[in-house]
């Protein structure tokens, strides 16, 4: 580290990169980055150059001594890195489009993280992340791996179980989004609100809510179930929870819970949208095209506001916040995906969980929550089972395990339909699933 | 016990009673029953007399000195009993018909144990069983409560959590049925086959299979997934599992798993049957009418063979086998519903589980199984959550908890539909749900 | 709280009080105390007045608007308090002298926390603390109870198990003392050193050591076992650990570990000291007399430096630091005694443990440590067993449990000697053990 | 197994062998042994021949077709064995004499299983048992390893943790001895008494006692603490427990508990005996000489009654009973040392525990006991820690771990004395501790 701080970003050609750059610029005082290596694969070369050049212009405008390197050589990028961030997408958005379209044919939600889409994204991604970890072991064994790539829970689980990299953190913007939503509901500054989070990635619950350190959970639950707040809640939560359900649960849900506690409505909605305006991947594909056109503009030297529409708000910002807290041993509380280590009683100690942690220079230390509320313990366990069997299938290339993983997923209506979807998706993603096609 | 062995059977007017009688007659040598008290409520008086008189004729034919008493006075029946068995049905088959019909209107399976039907059967049954337990505490504190009444897992959970009765066992014929099916598949005597069972009531898995004490699980899984055995397997299992699913699972399923791993097909099938020949309750209602006509025949003094069609084969027989093993401290292995006590790692120590136990005079002692296979751990946990929240709703009359219980049930497609079903069923079963209508 | 912040200090006549006052004065900016109520019993009236008047002079000198009240009426003191601190000593130092002397007759260490002395201090103290908790429930149900009274682990355990007060924290200066010692060893500022603590009160281990957030455990263990550091280590640790032992343990010990890992040497040393200069209590009795003489001086308006010799350095300071962090929702890390809640795997969830916690306005939240190192897990479990049985004896007055508690204590060489000591101490402390003498 | 049943006995030249032979002869009907291979090392050749020839005469007298083979070639003996029993003693009784004598010099009990003696016996034995397991993996991978060699708990732990042999059972005669003692106390046949055992080898507790299946624990505890039974109890238990201690404990102890709950008295007694008549090893050395003289008699063809004085009554018999139950899938209950698997809550799942198990053809399945009583949980955990660190030291040859193991042992008064004892014993046993002397 003599020569300064080095970050390597795998999938550096992503349209998200300007946000990451903005994050590094904003927090430069606390995190004096020296070298940022944006690395991508041959097929992403053109995008890498477009977004990389924008990155360089942004840094130049900020007047900061950060070197931005663009490369297709992952080893060079990883060598002696202090932090590695991953935001790549095996098979690009075209693959996601298939993840969404194919299950819909069977009247099943694709769901890109904990559904059939997530399974196949995991099957494509996990072998690559394991490769990266093996490289890291040789080239930068002390680096932290900050993974944004979805399904972030499954990927973190796979790194913990199937590689020697222990310094891994999975990151998601969902918890911070919930906190900001609640702050808005309470009409207070975000900084004054704190939520105890526990669960899994995209399956996380807010177990308590504090305003200036004092629990206001009861009040928040009241507000969320008050018919007069309906319009707000509908807006925040999507489809609107039944007050009885939320009062009975006595915990805050995350937007992804709609897939599990509102499966039928979500299926209808998703089918309708897919028909009318395309699946999310298809919409984003178009958005990305437009973004890259903007990025090409040699006069553009800031993050264009249109990027916010792309989704993933706060994502890269959250990442830089996390990195900064590690680097400075800040000991603040952030919800991240890390090894459970007993923090959530009924989940395995060695599994990845998403939980409020103290962020130290030695990594996140989870706050002990005891056990999850009875009502949510089952679904969380089920998604963990799904993640574990999926990761196992990804690593072993065991076809039976892939069918099993999808059969036990709560979104799948039967083993037979699971098998049909797996068969069709295995074929459609053949190119990116070498472990199943030998 | 000075004067002999006394058994009290709550719901003695049930059409099943002749099977129970047959069980006591067959095992009289080992279990010298002195007094059998069949007790029922006013509304069941006529049936009690019909079936009670048949019981008396059966005992007389067997030439055994068992006194059969018919009574509407539960306290007299319970007084100093050694065993209490429960086979009552609050609201009779008419209530079950509603449990099945109403959810179907919402395209949801009724499922009389772990679905909406099970929730409402639990809400009706649990307050009564708690009453019985309170009576037992006063009148026969040393008696064993052998509960057949469904949902047996939820009812056992409620007894363990909300009464002072510790000597309670929930009983089901599903495990023994699986064992007999596997024996048939292997073409050997039932006695030579042994299965390690673990899970919950109607959510139990066979974790290993032994023939003459040697594991033949691999062979059995092969046979179950061999296309040549398909016809057998279809027959045993209902709809036929995908071989990949079963190989991946590497455990034996129970017939009720069809509801969870084949939800869509089961829904279609159930709707079709309901339309064409009525729901199961409606079919059974007719069967029962015919059975009671038979029972009236003063010349009938054996269990009529038609009873077998009624379903519940081995049920009462299993009960008498269990009672006999307790009475004689037999220390044989039987799968029953009992306090977990650490036998299944990720389930609460103080919850009811269905697991292979040693049956001693002091009750069942579960065999430690460590943890369930990863793939099934989640669904089992989820059903346990459902059972616990349902039991809580039954005891407290908390409407929010009833909606919550149904919302987290894997058969329910959304909180909104859960609420609609709960609303309609609360109204339909009003008479039997005083705790919600005060 | 409208009128400001109120603290009630039970045992306010203690010689420690000036340190507590100093702490409140130093941290007034962060913790604007309005009323401090020093409460004591009739027998302590004189001391209360002496020390209370010193307290008033200290506050006056500091020029702060803190009202200091002296009272014998606990109820008045507790009414609407925000924090309650306890530093009382049932039976005064005379009782402690017996706790030390009597066991020595049997060649057994008295050990005022986790030995025979601790057992009897617990038996005397726990009924009083339970009384206080019952008062708090009525008079200040939202207050935090900060307990300094030893045996702090056993007392916290008793409050958690036998009262309705959940807002209780046990406090000890041992962990902070270790941290300061290690900072000195490393020749750095205390602020730069952080230790992960886990275990029980007076049985706590440092599992990792960080300098500026980076683990330096290996280096510290090397230094502690380096013969060249011997003089330092001897000084810090008392008798000097064998390097093999510390390297094998691979964790930091606390001074009280000398009692368990150096029992024989400690016994010899303690006997010799008792003979030559009296037991610790006897020495302190003299010291206290001198202190109170000083306190009487109407010109004294600061904490006299001689108090430091009394021992308990940082104690009250640590308490005010803790209170300030709660009050301000500081979210810093402090090791305290609190409900385990799964933070240490092999100890009960509902037991008190001493562990690094985040201190929030809602109290301490333990950091999940997984499990203790194998080598220490047993001794910690054993002391926890001792604490639990002792607390049970204190609450129930069950003589058998008192003998059992002492018999299982690692300092006790046999059940027979345990019984002899219990018998003699029961008699000697008769006046303060009404629960055993009815 | 085509040609019949083969048993290999490592340490076949032991004086115990005639008891084992008697066991096989008595149970031949149930366990039709074909070949018994007695194997020993070069140094034990003479004894092997003497006792082996007696074994042959015993079999001949019994008129059974069991071939008895004597060999120094372990591989030939293990090849295709169905059961392997181990009763060897590395360093012979001379080594045990040192295990006993050296600690006494430091006023520390030797204790051949869970004390310093046990540590060194483990250090000598574990490398050999691991060798045997490695041979078994190649030569008889389906065989059961029935280990009698002490320290049986530590050895079983080492096999479970450091070899691939899963089919291992540690065996001890202590539980059966307790059961027989209680039967005698109750003046009933042994068959009518059953005890629930749980704990570790030589650290096992009887948690409940049944007579004809009904708990009589209260009555037994009463009898054990009744002064009128004192003489009986003294006789059974050695030194006599204090009634308060036993009532408080509310569980049955084992004779080895004297070492922990009566350390001082045991030390005095052991020192006195060592002085007056030699340590146990020295006494046994003489006894063994006499036994082997007897064994040489060509007319002797039964187990000579003098063997009973040697100690270890029921040991081999217990072994054959266990083997017979496995072979015949008897599903009876026997207390053995096996993988915990959650049966005892606060001990690791993958550690060896001594617990009541169902003995099946697939091995022992532990009965779930929940958790140990609070009062014993600590000491059991501590001995488990000692066993684990000792096994680790034995496998790694890590000197620090050996000092650590002894330092945490409850019989050791300090780390310094631990180190002194380890130093002297390392030297004394040098020949048998190659892992520490490289
Ligand atoms: Mn996310
Ligand atoms: Mn059933
Ligand atoms: Mn302290
Ligand atoms: Mn033994």
**DSSP codes, C381-401:** HHHHHHHHHHHHHHHH--HHH
Chain C contact for A346, CB < 8 A? no
For the cut 90, the answer to whether the pLDDT of residue B232 exceeds it is no
Measured between beta carbons, which residues in chain C are less than 8 angstroms from residue A366?
A: 367-368
Residue A3: pLDDT band by 50, 70, 90 thresholds? Answer: low
Touch between chain A and chain B: 3 or more Cβ pairs under 8 Å = yes
The chain C residue lying nearest D267, using CA atoms, is: C413
Show Cβ contacts of residue D436 under 8 Å, excluding neighbours closer than 6 positions. D123, D397, D399, D402, D426
Low-confidence ranges of chain C (pLDDT < 70): 1-3, 228-239, 311-313
C87 in any annotated domain: yes
Mean pLDDT of A293-307: 91
Residue B115: pLDDT band by 50, 70, 90 thresholds? Answer: very high
Mean pLDDT of A329-350: 95
Show Cβ contacts of residue C209 under 8 Å, excluding neighbours closer than 6 positions. C182, C193, C194, C195, C196, C215, C216, C217, C220, C252
Chain B contact for D204, CB < 8 A? no
Q: Which of D214, D361, D369 sits opposite B361 (nearest CB)?
A: D214
C150 annotated ligand-binding residue: yes
Question: Residue C403 and residue D262: Cβ atoms within 8 Å?
Answer: no
C114 annotated ligand-binding residue: no
CB C122 within 8 A of CB C394: yes
What's residue A1's pLDDT? 41
What's residue A223's pLDDT? 93
Peptide bond into B91 cis (omega under 30): no
Is C277 buried (19+), middle (13-18) or exposed (0-12) by CB count in 10 A? exposed
Mean pLDDT of A382-398: 98
CA separation for the pair D14, C339 (Å, rounded)? 54
Chain D contact for B342, CB < 8 A? yes
Chain D contact for C124, CB < 8 A? no
Which of C28, C162, C205, C256 is catalytic? The answer is C256
Nearest alpha-carbon partner for B221 in B207, B203, B200: B207
For the cut 80, the answer to whether the pLDDT of residue D217 exceeds it is yes
Does residue A6 sit in helix, strand or coil?
A: strand
Task: Give the pair of three-digit tokens for residue A345.
Answer: 């009683």
Touch between chain B and chain C: 3 or more Cβ pairs under 8 Å = no
CA separation for the pair C30, C27 (Å, rounded)? 6
What's residue D237's pLDDT? 47
- The 10s digit of each residue's pLDDT in A24-61 is 999 999 999 999 999 999 999 999 999 999 999 999 99
Cα three-residue angle B203-B206-B207, rounded to 5 degrees: 120
The CATH number of the domain where C22 resides is what? 3.40.50.720
Residues of each annotated binding site of D for substrate: 96, 150
Which residues on neighbouring strands pair with residue C203, listed in sequence order?
A: C200
Mean pLDDT of D261-290: 93
B83 in any annotated domain: yes
What's residue D1's pLDDT? 41
- The 10s digit of each residue's pLDDT in D53-97 is 999 999 999 999 999 999 999 999 999 999 999 999 999 899 999
- The 10s digit of each residue's pLDDT in D132-187 is 999 999 999 999 999 999 999 999 999 999 999 999 999 999 999 999 999 999 99
Question: A386-424 burial string, b = 16+ CB within 10 Å, else e?
Answer: bbbbbbbbbbebbbbbbbbbbbbbbbbbbbbbbbbbbeb
C172 annotated ligand-binding residue: yes
C250 in any annotated domain: no
For the cut 70, the answer to whether the pLDDT of residue A230 exceeds it is no
A124 in any annotated domain: yes
CB D351 within 8 A of CB D157: yes
Mean pLDDT of B429-437: 95
CB B193 within 8 A of CB B183: yes
CA separation for the pair D401, D421 (Å, rounded)? 14
Q: Which is it for the CA torsion A323, A328, A332, A333, positive or negative?
A: positive
Distance D234 CA to ligand 1 centre (A): 68
What's residue B239's pLDDT? 55
Measured between beta carbons, which residues in chain B are less than 8 angstroms from residue A265?
A: 413-414, 416
Residue B327 annotated to the active site: no
Instruction: Choose from A85-94, B72-81, C3-12, C236-245 the range with maximum mean pLDDT.
Output: B72-81
CB D349 within 8 A of CB D195: no
What's residue B235's pLDDT? 45
- The 10s digit of each residue's pLDDT in D416-435 is 999 999 999 999 999 999 99
Q: Which of C214, C345, C358 sits opposite A342 (nearest CB)?
A: C345
Chain C contact for D404, CB < 8 A? yes
Q: What are phi and psi of A145, to 5 degrees?
A: -100, 115
CA separation for the pair A413, A306 (Å, rounded)? 38
CA separation for the pair A228, A209 (Å, rounded)? 21
For the cut 90, the answer to whether the pLDDT of residue B33 exceeds it is yes
C166 in any annotated domain: yes
β-bridge pairing C33-39 and C5-10: parallel
Q: What are phi and psi of B168, to 5 degrees?
A: -125, 140
Nearest alpha-carbon partner for B357 in B219, B129, B169: B169
Chain centroid to Cα C437, Å, comes to 28
For the cut 80, the answer to whether the pLDDT of residue A237 exceeds it is no
- The percentage of residues in chain C with a pLDDT greater than 90, rounded to a whole number, is 87
Q: Which of D328, D332, D368 sits opposite B368 (nearest CB)?
A: D368
What's residue D156's pLDDT? 98
Which residues on neighbouring strands pair with residue A354, listed in sequence order?
A: A199, A337
Chain C contact for D385, CB < 8 A? yes
Question: Residue B369 and residue D213: Cβ atoms within 8 Å?
Answer: no
User: What interface predicted TM-score (ipTM) does this complex get?
Assistant: 0.93
D2 in any annotated domain: no
Mean pLDDT of B177-188: 94
For the cut 60, the answer to whether the pLDDT of residue D250 exceeds it is yes
The chain B residue lying nearest A106, using CA atoms, is: B264
B27 in any annotated domain: yes
Residues of each annotated binding site of D: 96, 150, 172, 202
Chain A contact for C364, CB < 8 A? no
Question: Residue C263 and residue D414: Cβ atoms within 8 Å?
Answer: yes
CA separation for the pair D332, D335 (Å, rounded)? 10
- D41–chain B nearest CA distance, Å: 35
Cα three-residue angle C373-A336-A238, rounded to 5 degrees: 145
Average pLDDT over all residues of chain D: 93
Most B CBs within 10 A among A199, A240, A375, hence the mutation to make, goes to A375
- The 10s digit of each residue's pLDDT in C147-203 is 999 999 999 999 999 999 999 999 999 999 999 999 999 999 999 999 999 999 999
Which of B205, B256, B259, B261 is catalytic? The answer is B256
The chain A residue lying nearest B422, using CA atoms, is: A244
Instruction: Choose from B218-222, B235-239, D277-281 the range with maximum mean pLDDT.
Output: B218-222
Mean pLDDT of A238-247: 86
D430 in any annotated domain: yes
For the cut 60, the answer to whether the pLDDT of residue A405 exceeds it is yes
Average pLDDT over all residues of chain B: 93
Q: How many domains does chain C have?
A: 1
Mean pLDDT of B356-378: 96
Residue D312: pLDDT band by 50, 70, 90 thresholds? Answer: low
What's residue D236's pLDDT? 45
Domain extent at residue D402: 383-436
Is B92 buried (19+), middle (13-18) or exposed (0-12) by CB count in 10 A? middle
Question: Residue B385 and residue A408: Cβ atoms within 8 Å?
Answer: no
Question: Residue D342 and residue B213: Cβ atoms within 8 Å?
Answer: no
């Amino acid at each position: 580290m003599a020569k300064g701080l080095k970050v390597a970003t795998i999938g550096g050609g992503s349209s998200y990169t300007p946000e990451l750059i903005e994050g590094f610029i904003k927090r430069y005082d606390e995190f004096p980055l020296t070298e940022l290596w944006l690395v991508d694969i041959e097929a992403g070369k053109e995008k890498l150059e477009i977004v990389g050049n924008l990155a360089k212009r942004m840094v130049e405008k900020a007047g900061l001594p950060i070197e931005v390197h663009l490369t297709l050589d992952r080893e060079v990028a990883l060598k002696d890195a202090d932090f590695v961030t991953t935001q790549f997408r095996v098979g690009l958005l075209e693959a996601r489009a298939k993840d969404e379209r194919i299950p819909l044919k069977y009247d099943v939600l694709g769901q890109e993280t904990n559904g059939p889409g997530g399974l196949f994204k995991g099957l494509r991604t996990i072998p690559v992340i394991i490769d990266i970890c093996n490289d890291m072991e040789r080239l930068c064994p002390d680096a932290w791996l900050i993974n944004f790539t979805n399904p972030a829970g499954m990927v973190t689980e796979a790194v913990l179980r199937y590689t020697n990299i222990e310094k891994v953190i999975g990151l998601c913007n969902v918890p911070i989004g919930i906190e900001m939503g609640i702050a808005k509901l309470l009409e207070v500054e975000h900084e004054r609100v704190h939520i105890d989070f526990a669960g899994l990635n995209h399956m996380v619950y807010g177990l308590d809510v504090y305003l200036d350190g004092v629990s206001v959970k009861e009040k928040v639950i009241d507000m969320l179930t008050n018919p007069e707040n309906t319009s707000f809640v509908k807006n925040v939560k999507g489809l609107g929870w039944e007050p009885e359900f939320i009062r009975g649960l006595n915990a805050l849900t995350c937007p992804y819970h709609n897939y599990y506690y509102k499966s039928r409505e979500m299926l209808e909605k998703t089918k309708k949208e897919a028909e009318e305006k395309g699946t999310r991947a298809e919409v984003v594909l178009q958005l990305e095209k437009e973004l890259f056109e903007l990025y090409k503009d040699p006069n553009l030297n800031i993050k264009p506001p249109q990027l916010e529409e792309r989704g993933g708000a706060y994502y890269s910002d959250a990442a830089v916040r996390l990195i900064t807290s590690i680097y400075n041993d800040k000991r603040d509380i952030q919800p991240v995906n890390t090894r459970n280590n007993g923090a959530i009683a009924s989940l395995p100690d060695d599994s990845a969980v998403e939980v409020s942690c103290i962020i130290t220079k030695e990594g996140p230390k989870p706050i002990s929550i005891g056990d999850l509320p009875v009502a949510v313990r089952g679904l969380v366990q089920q998604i963990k089972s799904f993640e574990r069997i999926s990761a196992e299938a990804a690593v072993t290339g065991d076809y039976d395990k892939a069918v099993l993983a999808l059969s036990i997923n709560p979104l799948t209506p039967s083993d037979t339909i699971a098998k049909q979807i797996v068969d069709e998706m295995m074929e459609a993603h053949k190119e990116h699933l070498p472990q199943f096609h030998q």
